[in-house]
Amino acid sequence: MQNKATELFSDWADIGKDEGMAEAHSPAVNQILEQALSGNKSHFNFIDAGCGNGWVVRKVREMPLCLSACGIDGAKGMIENARRIDPGGDYHLADLLSWSPTVKAELIFSMEVFYYFKSPEELTRHIVDNWLAPSGRLIIGIDHYTGNPDSHSWPEDLNVHMTLKDADEWIQLFRDAGLSSCTTSKANVSKKFPGTLVVSGDLIV
Ligand SMILES: C[S@@+](CC[C@H](N)C(=O)[O-])C[C@H]1O[C@@H](n2cnc3c(N)ncnc32)[C@H](O)[C@@H]1O
């Protein structure tokens, strides 16, 4: 039987591996946030779907135009770490598919989370329908995708479900969920790494 991603990551958080993950994801995340907010002059509410220990929530909350920033994660250890680091922060222990915010957000971000879902289509639709404010943007980064062959063994290595898609399939999934101006790009590309696949779409209503 496969491990649940949230249980695996709760164990990682308990032994401090959340910090190494934040460090490893940081270069791609910085580029993704820059892309997400390029040209933005409006105030925005921010949600991090699968926030780990909440490091991106704390980073975005410091931005002058950010009105609110919250993080949701299904791993108990991750949310405990987030609350220990930042007792006043807004962190929710919940499955992404069963949680909805009271105030919809103009920017929804997620790093290395969507492929853990058996149906990323269902997750994307749930977020578009229930989390995203009109004119809002959903932007995600993923390292497990067809164009990154080194990632193909991860489901077996970790004994966790992962959904493998290529860039065209991810962009179609965003379009099918009702998003417009959908794009894919790469972040943190190097000689050794084909880059984090970045998928972005806007809710035009
Ligand atoms: C690879 S980690 C990335 C964490 C964080 N985004 C970062 O970059 O440090 C994936 C995260 O997704 C969370 N996750 C996976 N499936 C989830 C689900 N069904 N509901 C909520 N969180 C989930 C895990 O608990 C884990 O913290």
Output the CA angle 180-68-125, nearest 5 degrees.
Answer: 30
Per-residue pLDDT of the chain (205 residues; tens, 9 = 90+): 899 999 999 999 999 999 999 999 999 999 999 999 999 999 999 999 999 999 999 999 999 999 999 999 999 999 999 999 999 999 999 999 999 999 999 999 999 999 999 999 999 999 999 999 999 999 999 999 999 999 999 999 999 999 999 999 999 999 999 999 999 999 999 999 999 999 999 999 8
Q: What is the model's pTM? A: 0.98
Two tokens, residue 192: 């050794």
Q: Kindly list the domain boundaries of the chain, sorted by start residue.
A: 5-35+42-202
How far apart are the C-alpha atoms of 70 and 61, rounded to whole Å?
9
CATH of domain 5-35+42-202: 3.40.50.150
- Is residue 62 classed exposed, middle or buried when 0-12, 13-18 and 19+ CB atoms within 10 A define those classes? exposed
Strands 180-187 and 105-111: unpaired
Residue 134: phi and psi, rounded to 5, are: -55, 140
Q: Which residues line ligand 1 (CB under 6 A)?
A: 5-6, 9, 21-22, 25, 50-52, 73-75, 78, 95-96, 111-113, 116
The confidence score (pLDDT) of residue 83 equals: 98
List the beta strands (DSSP E) in 14-79: 44-49, 66-73
* Atom of ligand 1 at shortest range from CA of 10: 25
Q: Tell me the C-alpha distance between 8 and 27, whole Å.
A: 24
In the reported structure, the alpha carbon of residue 52 is separated from the centroid of ligand 1 by a whole-number distance in angstroms of: 6
> How many CA atoms, within 13 angstroms, populate the side-chain half-sphere of residue 29?
20
Minimum-distance ligand 1 atom for the alpha carbon of 94: 21
Nearest-atom index, ligand 1, CA of 78: 27
